Structure formats: structure tokens, C-alpha cells
Amino acid sequence: MSTQSAAARTERSSASSSDRTVSLGDPVQFLPGVGPQRARALAQLGVTTAGDLLVYFPFRHDQFQPTLIRHLEPGQTVTVVGRVVRVRLSAGRGRQSVSATIVDNSAQCTARWFNSPYISDRICAGSVVRLSGKVGEYEREPQLVNPRLEVLEADAQPVDEQTGAFLEPVYHASADLPSSAISRLIRLNLDRLTPQVEELYPEAFITQRGLTPRRDAVVRMHRPANVLEGDAARKRLAYDELLAMQIVVGMARRRRRYVESSRPLRVSREIDRRIRRRLPFALTRGQEAAVREISTDLAADRPMHRLLQGDVGSGKTLVAIYAALVAIANRAQVAIMAPTELLAEQLFRNADRYLAGSRVRRALLTGAASASRRRQLRAEIAEGELDLVVGTQALVQDGVEFARLGLVIVDEQHRFGVRQRMTIRCKGPSPHYLVMTATPIPRTLAMTVFGDLDVTTVHGMPPGRSPIGTRIVLPRQIDAAWKLVRERVAAGEQAFIVYPLVEASDAVQLKAATQEAERLAAEEFAGIRVGLVHGQMRGDVRDRTMGDFIAGRTPILVATTVIEVGIDVPAATVMVIQHANRYGLSQLHQLRGRVGRGDRPAHCLLVADSAEDAMNARLGALVKESDGFRIAEEDLRLRGPGEVLGTRQHGLPELRVADLLTDVSLLNMAQRDAKSILENDPALASAEFRRLRESIWQRYGDRLELAATG
């Protein structure tokens, strides 16, 4: 089967007549087979240079096991690979047909297409083809009628040497550029571009780790000789990604440790005593451990850069308030930044409650404040007249300057763009930096995306928390859900009812909070006060509604996901989540965490759109599991890191090859190697790692500083 098909000859002719000096940094448009139109389609996939195309790797290889022609039996559905020896176009009785004789190393068969004359333009004698279809018989010879046709070249798809199966690369594609077209472009240019691929590490480094040379890995990732070879290529390229990322976060960590300095904020026995006197209850064992770690960091002359995480309701906010009061006791200012006005207001209310009667000067700064109020607050912040400022991204706007900023606390940090997080840290001279998240972060994700942060985990729950019984409810069972809500309200408890939309939409057939709040108040819960809160409400109206619910004056609150974090209502014991199959697993866990915060049993009802949706893997995981860290691992498996934590905003490039669930051992090796490399060569200035340094700079570019932000 060494004879090339007509398509192959055309492609190779195009290649031979094109400029062979295209470099990896040149626009992809100048590669053979691309041109302006395909270049635009490739740009939509993030491919703008020849080098981008070279590392646009397939996400899997499909295996096709061809059947030998001599084994074909009538009635079988098969795939046959063979060479065309004759093509005939015939017409008669009002219809045309194209027939081709196909041979492999065992026998010959016929393929016939009716009313498809264009087939004769696609194949000719010598074409190598793959046919898929049902076997019939014609003149005592096997025949495939109207089979699926794919024109191959002798080297188009690699064949697994062990199984004889064809390995077909499958690429992330678009409507304008299918995977098969991407495969042809890469096949046409692979041999042209791979000689320009440079090795990143010394030969001994590669040998010691059992890695495939990088140039070979790039070729085999697209065109493996067998499955094992493809696995080895993927391992090498995944390691490269993970090592580069670990080096970047390691550089950021070293810079803060050895270059940046910060004002120490020390905790004396008297300061500790005064702070604890203000807290509403004794710290749990997990909170005590977190306070010790944070206090040690604050007392150092280098800036703290710590991630504070814990499951829903574990008491992270109290730990953060402790840290803030330590800074204020040292006459430093504290900024707490939250992603939404609702969460900022909740944080400020908590802080205000803890600090009632104290001399701590505090204020809330959000976009909802009037222009005159914002001017007044900016002046007070700049003059050092405010000790604690809680706010949204209004804190990072031009004109907000702190007199003596000592500590920055960022809540739910993955919801902010990385530039916003960098800006708030630049509002003072190397302030200490504490990140809070209520989304437990799987270890592999933390090592990769937050590898430059020291991690503190608040283990355990405050005493008195009740378990939350979680179950899936079908639409036909909704009356039972409303009955449970009425029963719990009659017992003096409260309920959340969550909807995905604020207003009804023609685009999606989902129930919406605004319309459902009116309906529920008039029908299901007639005579019971029903509140409504969502992100599009005016701040004063939302505050009033939330205040009534928190105070118990409103038993039932209809809401969107604005109540996902930061809302603490101990009397709330029931949550009904409508269209639950539409949410991510971690988001469902966060929503569920709004109930069960008191000493009474709690219930979370997940209303699925249909019986089929009730089988959703996320819903099943939530029913079985209550541990936030195990839930986060499952969410990572189901949706990937970019969706779980919004890491696309983190400033680090997305991983193209590495998989954070399956590549744990590779990640551990990359972390160890990055530490060793940086200890011996902090700037990667040596000749042996020159190409690695250039590769990291090329991949990260001006995002290096953003990646250091965390």
C-alpha cells in the first residue's frame, strides 16, 4: 500500500512548492495548506503561529481495527482498509453509480456508491481508502454499498504495531475546521516543523527521569507507532508543562522569601487576650491551628502569602477577623476584598458585630456608595483615619490609597481577575496577603495553581452543627418538597428556595426567581411571608430583604446563587434547589452549606429537571458525600480545573496535556525537580537550562508577574 492517493499527491506537491523556511514563530497562515481563511479558523482555536499548530495536540487517538477482506461475511458491519485498483462511473435507468475494486493483502472486494458521482473525483487507482459499512454480495464477491469513505495516505494514520489497529488522532475542533482537517494540516507540516523543536534539558536529566526526547515526543503525540509510544510522548509533554508551572510559582515564592520585606505584625499575650474577648465563641481546634500558622507568618519580616481554606461552615471568617485585629493592634490598616456587594456587606456586618464598642475605625466601600461618600472614604483611607476597610473591587480603583496598609485579605479569590488581585496588593509596600476560599481545593490543583502559597486548612466544624440530609426530587414530587417547607416554617424554622435565573427567558426553559417568588407567595405558601433576593436588585432593597430574613421576620427566601457564600442564618434548615442538574458540584455544595448552621436537623432537596437528569453524576455525588474536599476532587474529575476554580483568570496558561487527576506522580516529580533546579540556579542562568528559561519566558511572557500574584 505504498502508492499515494490523489489527495496525498496534491498535498505533497503543495508542500514541495512552498517556502520550507517557515519558523515556529511565523504566522500559521504561511504554512502549506493554511492560507488566510483557515488561519482565521485556527485563530479561533488559539493557534496563531506555526509553533502553536505544532503543539496543538490531539486529546485522544481513536482506534479502528480493520477486517481483512477474505474474512468478510454478508450482514457484517465492518471497516476495511485497502488500495483502489479500479474505479468505474456508470449510468443507467435514471441513476448513476460509482464502483471501485479494493484489495488488501488477503483478497479483493467491491464498493459501490449510488447517486454520488463526486466519489470518482475523490479516488483513483492507487488511492488508499478506509471503508465502513455493511457487507453484501455481488457476483459471489463481497460488496459494500454506500460505505463511509475516508481517503488515506500510506502514512496518514499510524498503525499500532501490536494490535494492527489504525490510530486516528482526534483534535478539539470547530464548525469551520473539523478534526480531520486539522489532522491533515499537521500531517502536512509535521516533518517540516519538528526539526526546529529544541531539547529543554541536559541529556543526563532526561535519561535519569526516563523521559522521551522532546522532539520525538512531539512527533509521537501526533503520530504514535503504538499506544505505549503515545503514552510515553504524553508523559514527557505533561511533565514539561508541570515543571514550567512549578518553576514559575517557585520563583514567586523565592522572591517573596528572599527579596521582598514586610513590616512584622506581632501578637503579644495582651493582644491575643483582647482579640479573644471579642470573639463570639471559643475557637475550635482547627481554628486554633490556623491562627498559630497565620500569627507566625505575620510576625515575620517577609510578607505572608497564605491560602486559608476549609469546608463550608468551618469558621474561616473568624480566623480572618483574628488576623485583621492583630494587624490593627500593630497600627496597620487592613483591607478585606470580596467579589460581590452582598458578600462584602455580610463580611462587614460580621466584623461590625465582633467589633461593637471597640475603638477600631471601620467602613464599607462598594460601588453602591454615593460619589460623595466614596470621596469621603478615600480621604479617610489615605489619611489613615480608617483601620479596617471592607469592600468590593471598588478598593482597587484609582484614587484609593492607603496610609499604612499592612494586611490584605481576599475572600473567594478565584472569582477575581488576577489583575485585580495584583492591584490590591500594590496598594501598600509589600503587605501581608491572606486568601480565603470556601471552595476546598484538591491537593493536585493547589500544588499547580496555588503552588506559591502556603496553605492553611481549617479542619473540623464548630460545635452544634447539624448534618444535612440531601436527596434528589423529581418534578412530580415537588408537592412533597413544598409540604416539608411549610412544616419546618410552622416549627419556627426558615427555608431557602434557589433558582438559576432572575427573570424568565425565551432562550432557556427554566423557572426564574422573580416570577416564582410571586407564584409561591400566592399559591404554595399563601399566608407566609416570602422574600426575594438576587444580584440585580438595588443594594438598599436587597439589604432590607436580607435583614428581614436574618432577623427571622421572613420565613422563606427565594434567591439566585447570590446566597452561595457568606450567608449565615442558623434558623435556616431547608433548601430547595430548582434545576439542580444545571449547577456544578462545588456550587451545589456551597449552596447546601447555607443550611444546617444551627443545632436543628437540616434538609437539602435537589430538584432535577427530569428522571433522566436525576441520574446526573453530580447530584449522586452530593447525596452520598458531605466532605467538601472529596466533593472538590469529584468536581475536578467531572469538570476540570478551569471550571472548578476559574483558573483561566489566574494568569497561568491552561494545561494542554497534563491531567491533574491522573498525573499526580508527574506533578510530585516536577515539584521536586523545580525545587532542586531553583536551589542550584535561581535565575536559570546556567547554559544547561538556557532553553528551559527561554521556553518558560515564551510560554508565560508578561504573565510571569501575574502568575506570581496568586
Residue 707 has pLDDT above 60, yes or no: no
CATH superfamily of 63-164: Nucleic acid-binding proteins (2.40.50.140)
> For residue 583, what pLDDT is reported?
87
For residue 85, how many other CB atoms are within 10 A of its CB?
Answer: 14
Q: Average pLDDT of the chain?
A: 84
The per-residue pLDDT for 703 is: 52
pLDDT in tens, 175-197: 889 998 899 899 899 999 999 99
Task: Tell me how far CA of residue 315 lies from CA of 312, 457, 566, 595, 628, in angstroms.
Answer: 8, 11, 11, 14, 14
DSSP code string of 382-435:
HTT--SEEEESGGGGSTT---SSEEEEEEESGGGS-HHHHHHHHTTSSS-EEEE
φ, ψ for residue 304 (rounded to 5)? -65, 145
User: Would the pLDDT of 52 be above 90?
Assistant: yes
Q: Per-residue pLDDT for 465 more than 80?
A: no
Band of pLDDT at residue 19, cut at 50, 70 and 90: very low
Q: Is the pLDDT of residue 596 over 90?
A: no
User: How much is the pLDDT for 505?
Assistant: 67
Mean pLDDT over residues 692-705, rounded?
75
Burial of 30 (0-12, 13-18, 19+ CB in 10 A): middle
Q: How confident is the model at residue 339 (pLDDT cuts 50, 70, 90)?
A: confident
Q: What is 468-625's CATH number, 3.30.1360.200, 1.10.150.20, 1.10.3720.10, 3.40.50.300? A: 3.40.50.300
Residue 504 has pLDDT above 80, yes or no: no
Yes or no: say if 311 and 305 are a contact pair by the CB < 8 Å rule: no
Q: Which three cell numbers stand for residue 653?
A: 496558561
Q: What is the pLDDT of residues 213-264, one digit of tens each?
A: 999 999 999 999 888 999 999 999 999 999 998 888 788 777 767 667 889 9
**CA–CA separation, 429 and 405 (whole Å):** 8
In terms of phi and psi (left: phi > 0; alpha: psi -120 to 50; beta: otherwise), the region of 357 is: left
Same fold, 63-164 and 269-458: no
**411-436: per-residue pLDDT in tens?**
865 454 444 445 555 555 678 989 88
Task: Measure the CA–CA gap between 408 and 663, rounded to whole angstroms.
Answer: 34
Query: φ, ψ for residue 168 (rounded to 5)?
Result: -105, 120
Domain edges within the chain: 63-164, 269-458, 468-625
pLDDT of residue 13: 41
Q: Determine the average pLDDT of the residues in 591-606.
A: 90
Assigned C-alpha cell, 256: 517573596
Residue 690 has pLDDT above 70, yes or no: yes
| Strand stretches in 208-332, DSSP E | 305-310
The residue with greater pLDDT, 520 or 309, is: 520
pLDDT for residue 539:
74
Task: Of 294, 293, 599, 647, give the one whose Cα is nearest residue 447.
Answer: 647
What would the mean pLDDT of 38-63 be, rounded to a whole number?
93
Whether residue 485 is predicted with pLDDT greater than 50 in this model: the reply is yes
Cα 74 to Cα 51: distance, rounded to the nearest angstrom: 48
* Per-residue exposure over 579-613, b if at least 16 CB sit within 10 Å of its own CB, e if not: bbbbbebbbbbbbbbbbbbbebebbbbbbbbeeeb
384 pLDDT band (50/70/90 cuts)?
A: very high
CB 386 within 8 A of CB 333: yes
Residue 304 has pLDDT above 70, yes or no: yes
Sorted by sequence, the CB contacts under 8 Å of residue 108 that are 6+ apart come out as 69, 82, 85, 101, 102, 141
- Please give the grid coordinates belonging to residue 162: 501490536
User: Do 98 and 87 meet the contact criterion of CB atoms below 8 Å apart?
Assistant: yes
Higher-pLDDT residue of 668, 565: 668
The distance of Cα 545 from the centroid of its chain, to the nearest Å, equals 34
The architecture that CATH gives domain 269-458 is 3-Layer(aba) Sandwich (3.40)
Burial of 460 (0-12, 13-18, 19+ CB in 10 A): middle
Beta strand residue intervals within 31-76, DSSP E = 60-64
Nearest of 1, 141, 146, 139 to residue 66 by alpha carbon: 1
Cα 565 to Cα 579: distance, rounded to the nearest angstrom: 19
